[in-house]
A and B are shown apart, each in its own frame.
Chain A
């Protein structure tokens, strides 16, 4: 498919405010007073050197606090939601995923492998919902 084969990793990730609001809303609903992590999918487009993230949705995600190798993410959910969002806006493709960190974890690499089924080079954006420093609370990573 044209546009999905990229030789090198893109160097810039642009995140729309709607995505940040959605993540905060997701966090508020599900994990506010817990230590749980929230995970979701990012939709958008890759334009040359830049990944443009315009929309997102949350996915049901569970992991074992004590054993970072044990985690569960619903594939069917991701598939169904992707189809539905395609109907509303065909240009928004799955470009990566997010979680609220605030730091990277060992299971992130494995979760990234899972997302490689949908896009060859998924971007991970860590969005800190309780930021303590000035500046935008996002960090993006490529595997």
Chain B
């Protein structure tokens, strides 16, 4: 397949939508329009008011690169953007000088100064959108909100609405070839989530054993939003050029090598879960989960092998 087809396939996989020229006014910030929408405070009447989030290509690249640069450590940052009806639009993101080992409460005090300064600078340079949410990374353990995250988000939603929480897993992104990102909003205190019709059939992800309890206890305090990505026509042209130049490197990379360590870790996790399941059926590990997890790992590895074989046949010659 030539580079144009590959690009189209990638865009289809990741749900990237180029904007038509009329839509490009999403990049312009209309302060009055925003204030009008927010004055009505629709989130008070309907806790699930915001259903969708659209992330611009630059915000996505910045967040993923920041998450990846953290390696095994959680990183966090803020997102700038606005709301359009029931959709939240994320236009930019920036990193905060905070490390995941500190407790979150203290970290906020230090980064408040940074945040205020950064925002002032942005206004001067022509970026007027306010903060619309925060993002952080869960390297290797999936996109969901931990207990502390849920509390932070509930606090944010009390005082800084509209606010969004995004979680990125840079390790799974590398391994699956698709950006592993989740966007969430928490329910206000006391709100009991109706057992939603959206079961975890398409939101499935395996959570490591040591975090599974944290995940389970808080899972009904927040809901996921649908995520879409967009880019402008200029972004499009740029990406076409970059793709044309770099398709060789992308093609020659093998996911087996890049993710070798991570795949091994996943298999160890799986082995542990199987052990627990066979010894003590009361623990919160179901056979369904184990099967799905092993399917996922097997699929990724066999994809790696298959693409390797194809490349050898096409380019190897022997």
Instruction: Please report A residues at the B interface, Cβ cutoff 8 Å.
Output: 17-18, 20-22, 24-30, 32, 57-60, 74, 77, 80-81, 84, 87-89, 129-131, 134-137
Contacts and interface: CB of A to CB of B under 8 A. Distances in A.
A136 B126 contact: no
9 contacts: A22-B58, A25-B27, A25-B56, A58-B125, A60-B126, A77-B124, A87-B114, A88-B96, A134-B241
A18 B121 contact: no
Given A21-B57, A21-B58, A28-B24, A60 B125 contact: yes
B98 to A, nearest CB: 9
B197 to A, nearest CB: 37
A36 B41 CA distance: 38
B238 interface: yes
Is chain A's binding surface mostly helix, strand, loop or mixed? helix
Nearest to B77: A88
Residue of A30, A88, A135, A136 ringed by the most chain B CB atoms within 10 A: A88
Q: Which of A22, A29, A60, A74 has the most CB of B within 10 A?
A: A29
A89 B65 CA distance: 12
Contacts of B49: none
- Nearest 10 CB-CB pairings of A with B: A87-B97, A30-B126, A88-B95, A21-B58, A58-B125, A24-B234, A25-B58, A28-B27, A60-B124, A88-B97
Nearest to B118: A84
Given A28-B27, A29-B27, A59-B125, 7 more contacts: A21-B61, A27-B234, A60-B124, A84-B114, A84-B121, A130-B234, A136-B245
B92 A24 contact: no
Contacts of A130: 234
A87 B95 CA distance: 10
Contacts of B117: 80, 84
Contacts of A57: 125
A28 B241 contact: no
Nearest to A83: B117
A58 to B, nearest CB: 5
A129 B232 CA distance: 12
Nearest to A135: B241
B114 A25 contact: no
Contacts of A77: 121, 124-125
Interface of B: 24, 27-28, 56-58, 61-62, 65, 69, 92, 95-97, 114, 117-118, 121, 124-127, 232, 234-235, 237-238, 241-242, 244-245
A77 to B, nearest CB: 6
B242 A17 contact: yes
A29 B124 contact: no
A83 to B, nearest CB: 9
A131 to B, nearest CB: 7
Nearest to B29: A29
A18 B238 CA distance: 11
A89 B125 CA distance: 21
Contacts of B58: 18, 21-22, 24-25
B141 to A, nearest CB: 23
A24 B114 contact: no
A129 to B, nearest CB: 6
A91 to B, nearest CB: 10
B245 A18 contact: no
B125 A25 contact: no
A29 B126 contact: yes
A126 to B, nearest CB: 15
Contacts of B92: 25
Given A18-B65, A88-B96, A81 B121 contact: yes
A128 B245 CA distance: 17
Contacts of A135: 241
Nearest to A88: B95
A71 B92 CA distance: 28
A38 to B, nearest CB: 9
A60 B125 CA distance: 5
Contacts of A60: 124-126
B242 to A, nearest CB: 5
Contacts of A27: 234
B242 A136 contact: yes
B61 A17 contact: yes
Given A17-B61, A84-B117, A24 B126 contact: no
